[in-house]
Amino acid sequence: MNTPHGAGTASTHRVLILGAGYAGMAAAIQLAARTKRRADVQVTLVNAQERFTERLRLHMTATGQQLGEMDIPALLAGTGARFVRGWVTAVDVHTKTVRIDDSRVLHYDTLVYGLGSVADTALVPGVDDHAYTLNGAQDAALLADRLARLASGTVVVAGSGLTGVESAAEIAERYPKVNVVLAGRQEPGASMTVKAQAYLRAALDRLGVQVRSGTAVTKVLPDSVELAGGESIAADVVLWTGGTRVSPVAAAAGLTVDGRGRVVTDAALRSVSHLDVYAVGDAAAIRQGYGVMHGTCQSGMPTGVHAAVSIVRALNGRQPKPFRFGYYHTPVSLGRHDAVVQFTHPDDSPRRGFLTGRTATWYKETVSASPWPTYRRMKKMPSSGAFWPHGGRFTRLRGAR
């Protein structure tokens, strides 16, 4: 029998946050810190795992490097927010309930939807059966175990986006006797300036990574991959980083979603079809003046903070403000001793400036480690998390206040 969980009194406003990624965690800490002294607000964070996943560093976990572990209850400690571990299997926007593990039901008055994205393993035949992914720490650990047992041979990294580039470089540096092939439709660093892209390509060459751009993996077999055009590459290990998909829960719930299943939001990050639902991070289709944002940590955390601030404003009888965000950098690690950081315009187009070498390595690691001090500061000073580049005219929408 299903039983209500966390049902509050008639005067308690229940805020339920689904997903404890960078955006969901920022929303939970920010909202709990801002309502800590209020007895009429209850904040609950739901996530499938108790451990926080450092997606920015999963390529390091995949190569057997030990990272500091941070569990979600510890991150929430002192905020008053509750944590529920479990898989979100359904949302009912009519009864305002969320089903967890198909056995528990949680009620909400306001919902923050942040279930994020994972690698799309349904795009190409054989990926589900024969390829590894970096969807979480457990997946990365499985790959690390396989690589540790690979004395020689070939690793094919499918997908030449930033995740693929970082993974290929990390594997090549960590396992120099292994042949690493990076295959994808686009040239690595395609969004960078010519000089920054050339630096990135030279670093991959130095590490021995064979780049196969302008093609795509069309099939994954137990011991090889097939490329567009019919060519086959022998592969002892395949890492799939090409394309992402979001949870089908939002679409199944009847929330308005875009063609990729992301929740379509208004300027304040509320669902355009259900104003009591906010969407953050990769799970949201957020329009700015330059178009719909793409999911990154640099944009994800601000969406979580803005959703929390908007909820507090609504609880106080005030209208939420429009969300505006402008990109400012694209940092890419190239192993442990090299990196390239492309500075960008707010619309994510490249500026002339970029960093390389040790300076870029320090910059990238500082960025990767920044969520922890940011979360700690927000516990004590919530307003400290509410600063990010708004992007000026690039992000302004017509009609948005």
Residue 257 has pLDDT above 50, yes or no: yes
Banded model confidence at residue 175, pLDDT cuts 50, 70, 90? very high
pLDDT of residue 384: 86
- Quote the tokens at residue 297: 């940590």
Q: What is the pLDDT of residue 70?
A: 86
Mean pLDDT across the chain: 93
pLDDT for 102: 86
% residues pLDDT > 70 (the chain): 97
Confidence class of residue 7 from pLDDT cuts 50, 70 and 90? Answer: very low
Distance CA 80, CA 114 (A): 20
What is residue 140's predicted lDDT score, i.e. its pLDDT? Answer: 95
Q: Select the more confidently predicted residue: 2 or 169.
A: 169
Give mean pLDDT, residues 30-36.
95
Q: Does residue 19 surpass a pLDDT of 90?
A: yes
* Half-sphere exposure of residue 333: CA atoms within 13 angstroms, side-chain side: 24
Residue 1 pLDDT exceeds 70? no
The distance between the two most distant Cα atoms of the chain, rounded to a whole number of Å, is 65
pLDDT at 363: 97
Predicted confidence (pLDDT) at residue 9 exceeds the cutoff of 60: no
Contact 136, 117 (CB under 8 A): no
246 Cβ contact list (under 8 Å, min separation 6): 115, 116, 117, 260, 261, 262, 282, 283
Residues above pLDDT 90, as percent of the chain: 87
Is the pLDDT confidence value at 234 over 60? yes
Is pLDDT above 60 for 178?
Answer: yes
Sorted by where each starts, the structural domains of the chain and their CATH numbers stand as 4-116+247-325 (3.50.50.60), 119-243 (3.50.50.60)
pLDDT (average), residues 157-169: 96
Instruction: In whole angstroms, give the CA distance from residue 112 to residue 307.
Output: 8
What is the pLDDT confidence band of residue 10, given thresholds at 50, 70 and 90?
low
Which residues touch 378 (CB under 8 Å, ≥6 apart)? 26, 29, 30, 33, 305, 384, 385
Distance between first and last Cα of the chain: 47
For residue 126, the model assigns a pLDDT of 97
DSSP state, residue 77: T
Lowest-confidence pick of 34-38, 42-46, 107-111, 269-273: 34-38
Please tell me the predicted confidence (pLDDT) of residue 399: 61
Q: How do residues 364-388 score in pLDDT, each as one tens digit?
A: 999 999 998 999 999 999 988 888 9
The residue type of 173 is E
Pairing between β-strand 339-344 and β-strand 329-333 as defined by DSSP bridges? antiparallel
pLDDT in tens, 51-78: 998 899 999 999 999 887 789 999 999 9
Say whether pLDDT at 346 is over 60. yes
- Quote the CA–CA distance of 233 and 210 in Å, as a whole number: 12
User: In the numeric block, which tokens belong to residue 234?
Assistant: 């022998």
Please tell me the predicted confidence (pLDDT) of residue 282: 94
Question: Is the confidence at residue 390, as pLDDT, over 80?
Answer: yes
Query: Taking 70 as the threshold, does the pLDDT of residue 208 lie above it?
Result: yes
Averaged pLDDT, 294-314 = 94
pLDDT tens digits, one per residue of 130-152? 999 999 999 999 999 999 999 89
160 touches 187 (CB < 8 A): yes
Average pLDDT over residues 223-241: 96
Query: Which is it for the CA torsion 264, 268, 273, 275, positive or negative?
Result: positive
pLDDT score of 6 more than 70: no
- Per-residue pLDDT, averaged over 291-307, amounts to 93
